[in-house]
Chain A
Amino acid sequence: MNRETRFWTVMFLGGCLFLAFQSLGTARGVGQQFVVRVDATTGKIIPPATGASDASSAVKTVIYEPASKDDPEAIWSFSRTAGIWIAALLTLCIFSYLYRDNVCYKLAESIIVGVSAGYWIVTNFWEVLVAKVLVKLAPNVARYSFLPDTPVDVKADYLYIVPVVLGCMVFCRLIPKIAWMGRWPLAFVVGTTAGLKLTSFLDADFVRQVRSTILPLVVFSANASDVSTLDWKQSIQNIVIVISVLSCVTYFYFSVEHKGLVGRISRVGIWVLMISFGASFALTVMGRITLLTMRLQFLFDDWLGLVRI
């Protein structure tokens, strides 16, 4: 172990011990979670069960709401405490990448990928295959199998066979002999997306955007005594917008060589683009720092209970 590794290891272990010691001394403890049992029908808190004959055991639907440790009705929740611990340890695994790539980071990364994929598959199974396909094609089957809440007056709509067939045709790509059939649904998707995008884009992103750029360069506004005065702030804003748009459009106009006046205007366009990239980068940094803040709030408040509100 070299000197640098020794130093960082001592720092890390010392920090962990200090935080653990501090955390054990707080009322909330190390990630301990407490809940109260609430009757879902009446909304009343059920006192903690004292035995098999307890009246609360007759309540059918119980909701567990977060509670303070000092609450006399509160009971310790194993599942929530475990959840906080798993989330905290996974957060630390991800943070460990800042030191160097390691197995803990890889493990946490793989869990994120797996959980995300699983979540998307399950959600889309229920929301697309069941709710949009099965309910539309066979509502009675849906009612008796997956969705008992399916209304009885829902009638089958056999037009939904078309997307089902197209969806199945995508899998033809896995069989080389009929792989060509897999192109049809893709052609359908490309065609409809292009059509849908074209109309909405033309309206929202072209016509309306061009209209928003046609602005008066000198703006006069009426003051309290109804006298028209120069609104220099709005005028400068409009001039900047018009110059920025024209210079950026000139920069992307390649039919004329960027020399002389055109070259100078396109140079202004580059500056405008650079400023917008800078703004994007700064805002990205702001977002990332907010993410870091949220994770540290979680670690030091929810897990260690060191933040005293």
Chain B
Amino acid sequence: MTSPLLNKLNALDRRWIFLAMALAVLSPILLQIGSDETPSPPTIKLFDEIERLPEGSRILMAMDFDPTSAAELYPMALSFTRHCCLRHHKLYFVTIWPTGKPMIESTIKAVIGADFGSGDRAYQYGVDYVNLGYLAGDAVAISQISSDIRKARPQDARGTSLDELPMMSGVISVKEMDLIVNASAGFPGGKEWVQYAATPKKIPIAVGCTGVQSTQLFPYYPDQLLGLVTGIRGAIEYETMLAAKYPDPYANRSKRPAFLRGGAQRWAHRLMIGLIVLGNGIHLANRYRRTPHP
């Protein structure tokens, strides 16, 4: 038994699939089709915790990612920082990735510089936020700042002594933090913050991680992780909650990078499901063709 369509599908050049995927992703980008997601409990818990903490609480923002994982984690970093600034918490930025330094600077510029740098309650460097920069030593660095920040880093990223910064008075180690918020792309990251800081020192921690990493981190939730924001979907969930709670200006599309990536994600997933069904259909048809029929 022969079928011209089946023969054509069997010999289909894979570059047609690449082209179809490119169109599925590109069309929502050009047409600016976004996507909202219903928030999941691990994301809601982090959002509620930042809301619950009293104004001026100390939050360690550990930005352990690089440009290759920025597609998923940068929108998250923006949302976390925006939310903390809206609640007027004190932010301590740090990274244990050398490539995390520009990510911190970019986040500070996009959030604090653009939205919270002026006005009556403007965020001031050294008073409301500080960039502690890169800490070399991977997990050992986490262990070190868990016992003494100044031993690991006597100066901030600008070269100012930590003792000269008002917001560092009374801060000896990570134990003084009310919450650790980590944007994690791999090793060292969320797992190490749980192992070396949060669990032994009993500090609440929430992690925003890449999709790849989430299956490694889910076992820690909810006992050792207060919240877990997973991949671009988690970033969209967080933006959805932020837009619902603070519609002005965070319901605006230009302030929602994850939302704009969600539309492309949705269409690409639909195409993939279609291709998986088609591929299995072709496989079954080939098997049926090979089976001798009376």
Find B160's partner among A98, A149, A300 (CB 8 Å cutoff). Answer: A149
B140 and A284 within 8 A (CB): no
User: B124 near A: Cβ within 8 Å?
Assistant: no
B30 and A306 within 8 A (CB): yes
A208 and B224 within 8 A (CB): yes
A92 to nearest B CB, angstroms?
12
A123 and B72 within 8 A (CB): no
A233 to nearest B CB, angstroms?
11
User: B134 near A: Cβ within 8 Å?
Assistant: yes
B204 to nearest A CB, angstroms?
14
List B residues 260-277 near A (Cβ within 8 Å): 260-261, 264-265, 268-269, 272
Number of interface residues of A (CB under 8 A): 48
B223 and A151 within 8 A (CB): no
A248 to nearest B CB, angstroms?
12
B102 to nearest A CB, angstroms?
10
Task: List B contacts of A228 (CB < 8 A).
Answer: none
A124 and B136 within 8 A (CB): yes
Task: List A contacts of B159 (CB < 8 A).
Answer: 147, 149
User: In the complex, A293 Cα to B101 Cα: how many Å?
Assistant: 24
B231 and A297 within 8 A (CB): no
Task: List A contacts of B9 (CB < 8 A).
Answer: none
User: In the complex, A203 Cα to B223 Cα: how many Å?
Assistant: 13
Interface string of B140-177 (1 = CB under 8 A from A): 10010000000000110001110000000000000000
User: In the complex, A285 Cα to B25 Cα: how many Å?
Assistant: 13
**Contact A212:B29 (CB < 8 A) given known A196-B143, A200-B200, A289-B269:** no
A300 and B26 within 8 A (CB): yes
Of the candidate stretches A23-31, A73-81, A101-109, A275-283, the one touching chain B is A275-283
Task: List B contacts of A308 (CB < 8 A).
Answer: 32
List A residues 258-309 near B (Cβ within 8 Å): 276, 279-280, 283-287, 289-294, 296-297, 300-301, 306-309
User: B57 near A: Cβ within 8 Å?
Assistant: no
Chain B minimum-CB-distance residue to A280: B215
Chain A minimum-CB-distance residue to B263: A293
Interface string of A167-195 (1 = CB under 8 A from B): 00000000000000000000000000000
User: In the complex, A65 Cα to B232 Cα: how many Å?
Assistant: 28
B136 to nearest A CB, angstroms?
5
Task: List B contacts of A8 (CB < 8 A).
Answer: 15
6 A-B residue pairs with CB within 8 Å: A124-B98, A287-B69, A289-B268, A292-B22, A301-B29, A308-B32
Q: Which residues of A contact B (CB under 8 A)?
A: 4, 8, 98-99, 119-120, 123-124, 127-128, 131-132, 147, 149, 151, 154, 196, 200-201, 203-205, 208-209, 211-212, 276, 279-280, 283-287, 289-294, 296-297, 300-301, 306-309
